[in-house]
Amino acid sequence: MTQSAATSEGTAISAVPSLRRRRRSPFRRKLFPYLLVAPAVIYLLMITLYPGVYAIYQSFFFVTFTGWVPAGFENYTNLLRDREFWAALWNTLVIGGISLALECVIAMTLAFYAYRDPFIRGWRIIFLMPMLFMPSAVAFIWKLAFNDGRVVSDLLMQLGLISENIDFLGDVWNARLTLIVADVWQWTPFLFIIFVAGLQAQDKEIEEAARLDGASWPAIFWNISLPLMRPVIAVAVILRGIDITTMFANVFIITQGTPGGATETISYFIYRMGFRTFNFGYASAASALMLIFTIIVAQLLLKRFFRSGRA
């Protein structure tokens, strides 16, 4: 059948001798893919690259209401001497670092217990819930619970753990704890889901082999599953880490940087410099510095984890 089809087609072609094979110019052939992605690229450039470049440009000026005065690197040198900037950087590291560490440990523990559970789909949906709420709404809930409504203090008193109200926002570490709890509550599910997926993707036969080699589940986890999860953990930590360095909503709503700037993160510092004191050049310089820090740290982490994670 195919043979007869081929013959009839062959005669058809020879009957139209003027049929010309068209060639596209190599230039057009190469250009075509770029044309296809152009709209997306232009859109991305407009909403990310342009503001970014604009901010970096702005960081070399003193921006006042009357005009821009060239400042050279003065915004940067001022920043590096600014104790509030360094304090904000330290706060970000402390609050973000502790949050991230807790999130990782809790998410990994939950994932370890849950990933072999037949009800895992159900667990995933339940654990996903906190992520679905609006961050500002969650922040208000925690503000109520810790401060305005004193729910947490009340509960602790009912349990007999404390005897009088705790002023969560009046103490450096209590205030930081508030932010940490809020972040952990909302973002542990994100890591949990990534970790469960990572564990489920691991080769079942390797687990079975370890089982027959006499390993208990915790031993399998420590010796095999966890080391194999390195690249997954690295990606998750980097994604979450980048996100956490820009922690803003919770600070803005719950603590506003109090007490005494102990909970002022870099994002809040930039916001305060830009929109409270209208020192836009200074705020832009802080953003640019932060961008550089983040890129360096992320690159270091990625390189380290992926090099040694290779089998």
Give the whole-angstrom CA distance, residue 104 versus residue 236.
Answer: 9
Cβ closer to other proteins: 72 or 214? 214
Q: 292 to each of 85, 99, 101, 299, how far by Cα in Å? A: 15, 22, 23, 11
* Using rule CB under 8 A, residue 310 touches other proteins: yes
Residues in 95-134 at the binding interface with other proteins, rule: CB under 8 A: none
**Residue 113 and residue 199 in contact, taking contact as beta carbons nearer than 8 Å:** no
* Using rule CB under 8 A, residue 223 touches other proteins: yes
**Residue 285 and residue 292 in contact, taking contact as beta carbons nearer than 8 Å:** no
Cβ closer to other proteins: 86 or 222? 222
* Using rule CB under 8 A, residue 15 touches other proteins: no
| CB 298 to other proteins: min, Å | 24
| CB 1 to other proteins: min, Å | 23
* Using rule CB under 8 A, residue 219 touches other proteins: yes
Cβ closer to other proteins: 259 or 309? 309
Backbone angles phi, psi at 18, to 5 degrees: -85, 0
Contact flags string 178-217 toward other proteins, x per CB under 8 A = -------------------------x-xx-xxxxxxxxx-
Q: What is the 3-state secondary structure (H, E, C) of 163-193?
A: CCCCCCCCCHHHHHHHHHHHHHHHHHHHHHH
Backbone angles phi, psi at 61, to 5 degrees: -130, 155
Q: Which residues contact other proteins by CB under 8 A?
A: 203, 205-206, 208-216, 219, 223-224, 227-228, 310-311
